[in-house]
Amino acid sequence: MVVDWRRSVTMILAVTAVASLTAVTGSGGATAGTRAAAAPRAAIAVTWGAAQEMPGSAALNQGGDAQVNSVSCSSPGNCSAGGFYTDSAGGDQAFAASEVKGTWRAPIEVPGTAALNKYAYAWINSVSCASAGNCSAGGYYTDSRGYEQLMVVNEVNGTWHDAIEIPGTAALNLGDNVGVSSVSCASAGNCSAGGWYMGSGSLSHPFVVNEVNGTWHTAIEVPGSAALTTGSIFSQVVSLSCASAGNCSAAGWYTDSSDHTQPFVVDEVNGIWRNAIEVPGITALNQGGDAAINAMSCAPAGSCSAIGFYTDSSNHRQLFVVSKN
């Protein structure tokens, strides 16, 4: 498979499409091939219900500070969410909550984090659901030394299982600042996640990790990122999206030899992560030396689009979009 991030990076534009009906005139002046205008359809009423406190959240949030960081819905009325709450001692604890057939259930402390989160600082940052009751989430916790460690947790058939440290990250992470930025699930038990870890010298490195048939594999540094990151060696995966199992794309930023921030993209093809590349065309735009991708999304056919910002020669932030066909 050949993947091509389109070499023209363009400023984002808002375009309004106006539909028109063209009449074709036949011999004798009669109008031929003209369809009668269809009667307008009745508007479908879309109504937001009244906001309510998440059922059961007050019982968890004894410290009075809580936040939802991510929510994902696989079908109408079937969603999952994650974030953090503060316990009675003021510590941050990770939670997960599920909506089933339109009804939100009480959130729970992420199973297994009591054993992991010794320093009382854990969050869920990203959630993705492949089908109702089958989701994965990623975040971090702090170990007994106060060091942040990366974790993932799976919901299987409506039940949240125990969180685990992402395999392989203990060997990668030599610092105390980590994070899972993005999780994407193509099907139940087949997901990918990305973020950053701290290497030697407390410098951040981007990572990706795959879940295959319900088992999380060993995380790796994004291939090719070390060759790109020649500046202060700061680099992160910011957003990740999977078109199908084993076929994903991720994006983020790195610092070059001039300590300018540049955006990168990287593709996974049939379960293998390829080398990251600088976003084509960004050098000509990013005259101010500060650019990054903030979000990306891939369609089932494998085409992806990403959006971010760059700084122009006047150091004004401008928007860009880039697509892969």
User: Could you give the CA distance from residue 108 to residue 106 in angstroms, rounded to a whole number?
Assistant: 7
User: Could you give the CA distance from residue 155 to residue 137 in angstroms, rounded to a whole number?
Assistant: 8
Q: Give me the domain span that covers residue 251.
A: 222-325
70, 217: one domain: yes
Assigned domain for 37 exists: no
63, 202: one domain: yes
309, 170: one domain: no
Assigned domain for 304 exists: yes
What tens digit of pLDDT does each residue of 150-181 get?
999 999 999 999 999 999 999 999 888 899 99
Cα atoms found within 13 Å of the Cα of residue 18, Cβ hemisphere only? 2
Residue 95's pLDDT is what? 98
Q: Place 19 in a pLDDT band, splitting at 50, 70 and 90.
A: very low
**Residues 26-31, mean pLDDT to the nearest whole number:** 38
Counting the structural domains of the chain, the total is: 2
- CA-derived radius of gyration, the chain: 23
Assigned domain for 263 exists: yes
Partner residues linked to 31 by β-bridges: 25
145, 283: one domain: no
114, 184: one domain: yes
Assigned domain for 177 exists: yes
109, 191: one domain: yes
238, 164: one domain: no
Helix (H) or strand (E) run with residue 283 in it: helix 282-285
162, 257: one domain: no
Assigned domain for 9 exists: no
What tens digit of pLDDT does each residue of 275-322 get?
999 999 999 999 999 999 999 999 987 899 999 999 999 999 999 999
Assigned domain for 200 exists: yes
Average pLDDT, the chain: 89
Q: Which of 164, 193, 221 is the last residue of a domain?
A: 221
Return the residue matching tokens 């199908």.
244
Question: Quick one: tokens of 239?
Answer: 């957003």
User: Could you give the CA distance from residue 197 to residue 236 in angstroms, rounded to a whole number?
Assistant: 8
Residue 201 has pLDDT above 60, yes or no: yes
What tens digit of pLDDT does each residue of 224-276 get?
999 999 888 889 999 999 999 999 999 999 999 999 999 999 999 999 999 99
Q: Which residues does 266 contact at the CB level (< 8 Å), separation at least 6?
A: 208, 222, 223, 224, 225, 249, 250, 251, 273, 274, 275, 276, 277
Bigger pLDDT: 24 vs 48 = 48
Instruction: Assign residue 208 the CATH number of its domain.
Output: 2.120.10.10
Q: Place 12 in a pLDDT band, splitting at 50, 70 and 90.
A: very low
Give the pairing type, strands 292-298 and 304-311: antiparallel
120 Rama class: left (phi>0) / alpha (psi -120 to 50) / beta: left
156, 247: one domain: no
Residue 151's pLDDT is what? 98
Rounded percentage of the chain residues whose pLDDT exceeds 90: 79
Q: Which of 202, 221, 240 is the last residue of a domain?
A: 221
106, 198: one domain: yes
User: Could you give the CA distance from residue 1 to residue 198 in angstroms, rounded to a whole number?
Assistant: 33
Q: Which residues does 244 contact at the CB level (< 8 Å), separation at least 6?
A: 186, 187, 300, 302
174, 252: one domain: no
| Residue 108 neighbours by CB distance under 10 Å | 14
119, 199: one domain: yes
Contact (CB, 8 A) for 231 and 262: no
Assigned domain for 198 exists: yes
Residue 30's pLDDT is what? 38
